[in-house]
Amino acid sequence: MPTPMRALFALMLTACLSLSPVLADDARARLDHFFQEMTSFEAVFEQMVINERDEVLQHAQGKVYLKRPGQFRWDYQTPYNQQIVADGQYLWTYDEDLAQATVQEMDAVLGRTPIMLLSEPRALENDFKVASEGTHQGLSWLALTPHSGDTDFQRILIGLDERTVRMMVLYDQFGQQTRIRFEDMRLNPRIPDARFRFEPPAGVDVMRN
């Protein structure tokens, strides 16, 4: 069973309709505008991990907070409590049921992973080929294919409404997909830095990688 940590970096949607050039340009313009405008956001998320046989391996829900540069927090509430917290330097993963926490340096773990698309201001073309993937379920889709073959994922799909990113889907090297849908999103709220600091509770085993 994939962990939420792996699923984050392993973010389906097969679009069957093609965008006209005008709409494709509009979708890309909206994505660029979102990245340029966004300094923080918070949202409720639903996450599904699906294997190559279209079987659901994991269904999770929770809340996500993000603040540029490099700070984010994913609070998983179902099917179990887990926190993934990044303060800009270190990445913490805390499993409440196991009373275990892991801490790693962010640069060593994240690199060019999908979460860094949201948390670090960076031109997409530096790392990805960007192409239109059509429209489906009321969203416009763009496909991001990494230039480097040294990644855990083959491509990312980003679904946009008129203003924000509503869904991210990642296809990994093992044929699995991770779909993350954002709801109740608030763009650029005030989020204190304390939200992105993690202090292990008393009695928790801490592993440092």
Peptide bond into 192 cis (omega under 30): no
In the CATH scheme, what is the code of domain 4-197? 2.50.20.10
Q: Which of 72, 100, 75 is nearest to 87 (CA)?
A: 72
Q: Which of 120, 109, 186, 118 is nearest to 158 (CA)?
A: 118
How many Å apart are CA 83 and CA 101, to the nearest integer? 9
How does pLDDT run across 148-160, given as a tens digit for each residue?
Answer: 777 778 888 999 9
How does pLDDT run across 94-149, given as a tens digit for each residue?
Answer: 999 999 999 998 877 765 555 655 555 556 777 788 898 888 889 999 998 888 77
Based on the number of CB atoms within 10 Å of its own CB, is 6 exposed (0-12), middle (13-18) or buried (19 or more)?
middle
pLDDT band at 91, cuts 50/70/90?
Answer: very high
8 Å CB contact between 154 and 172:
yes
How many Å apart are CA 52 and CA 113, to the nearest integer? 21
How many Å apart are CA 179 and CA 128, to the nearest integer? 19
The yes-or-no verdict on residue 195 having pLDDT over 80 is yes
Spatial neighbors of 110 by CB under 8 A, at least 6 apart, are 9, 86, 91, 116
How many Å apart are CA 119 and CA 82, to the nearest integer? 20
